[in-house]
Structure 1
Amino acid sequence: MKRNGLILIALFLLFVIALLDQDGQKKISALFEGSGNSKSETSEEQKSITALAAEGALKPGTSSPAFKLSGLDGKQYAVGGKRDKALLLNFWASWCDPCREEAPELVNIAEKYKDSLDVYGVNVTFYDKLDDVKKFVKEYGFTFPVLLDEKEKVYRMYNGIAFPTNILIDKDGVIRDVVIGLISPEDLQGKIEKLLNP
């Protein structure tokens, strides 16, 4: 029931935007489908999509909200405060096409930066099915921890509004960047390099 209500609200908002502005259709479509449709899209377009989506998001320079979640591996994972390594927190769902497109790059990032960066995939299980989550993780060969946000509590703490969402957190527990939607692997790695080498 709750999920149906959220879907109806989202559809209504999409309809209103479409009526107000044909350009709004492109922005919303790109937000949910990711900007990976064409390499010729400008970074200005991505910036406007991100700005549209990020109005309520947590801001860089603020402390990351603290939480604990169980992982698919049965272990408990905690975020908040100082850490040994920087952290890429990735919110995703198995039915999300941009998440599928991004998944191989997350595996590459986790391996490439394993000595200086933790990658936690946070599946918002409230909007997903555990069997589908397990299939997704196996299909894409996730080697990093996959945390289960079964009540959507953490996603709400981080003001999540779209999948995928990547939060880059430094070793002091401070949010350094918020990436809503799909960006190119090069841009994501550039943001990680900036996080690790300020």
Structure 2
Amino acid sequence: MKRTIVLLILVFVLSGAAIYQNNDKMGEALAASSEMNPKPGFTAPTLELPDLDDKPLAIGGKKDKLLLLNFWASWCGPCELEAPDLLELSKKYGDKLELYGVNATTYDKERQAREFVEEFELSFPILMDRDGKATELYKVTTFPTSFIIDSNGIVRERVPGVISLNEWEDLIEKWIDIDERNKEQSTEQGKSEE
């Protein structure tokens, strides 16, 4: 009888230990997958996409300017509302901000996307996500979704949906200022190390 009780206790302890170890591994896997999200404070995924002339442009990584990356589709009503504001932002901040529109071509028709660009006279680069890789890497599930990425390739803002022109200007000016201060500090550090 004592032997049976000891065996039951041993089985119970070993089962508990196995469950405990698997829960830790599951928690680590969930933490790792959530860290892969392109969210503020994390490195933006890097890839190349073709523009409307099929010239490849790089997304992510270090750049000279702040980057506003806007995912959109031609059938998206909010994207239509946002298009004039994005055009204005690209003209106003063009010397300090790169703006790329990424058409979610796997969810859209390329002909309609091109018509959208012509209709709204979008003059900033439009990239075609024909295989859906960018949309997947940036975990975009609603349109429009935009990202502000600093010159070091770090996502600073994720903006789902449409915001006003004033809100865009506030966000862009905030991150341009921060980005420029960071560059100045890096330059000063480089000089002091020489």
Q: TM-score, normalised by structure 2?
A: 0.72
Match of 2:38 in 1: 58
Question: Which 4+ stretches in 1 moved above 3 angstroms?
Answer: none
Unaligned runs of 5+ in 2: 1-35, 179-194
**Equivalent residue runs for 1:35-114 within 5 Å:** 58-114=38-94
Match of 1:179 in 2: 159
Counterpart check, 1:158 vs 2:138 = yes
Matched AA of 1:123: N
Q: 2:150 aligns with which of 142, 150, 170?
A: 170
The one-letter amino acid paired with 1:99 is C
Cα offset, 1:74, TM superposition: 2.2
Larger radius of gyration: 2
| 1:67-111 CA-partner distances (Å, limit 9, x unpaired) | 100000221100122101110000000000000000000000001
Find the aligned partners of 1:99 and 1:80 in 2 and give their Cα distance.
Answer: 22
Q: Which residue of 2 aligns with 1:196?
A: 176
1:2-21 CA-partner distances (Å, limit 9, x unpaired): xxxxxxxxxxxxxxxxxxxx
AA aligned to 1:185 is L
User: What per-residue deviation string (whole Å, max 9, x for no partner) do you get for residues 97-142 of structure 1?
Assistant: 0000000000000010110100000000001011101110000011
Give 1:185 shift.
1.2
The TM-score with structure 1 as length reference comes to: 0.70
Deviations along 1:137-196, whole A, 9 cap, x unmatched?
Answer: 000011011000011110110011110001000001110000001111111111111110
Q: Secondary structure at the match of 1:197?
A: helix
Tell me the distance in 1 between the aligned counterparts of 2:168 and 2:53: 27
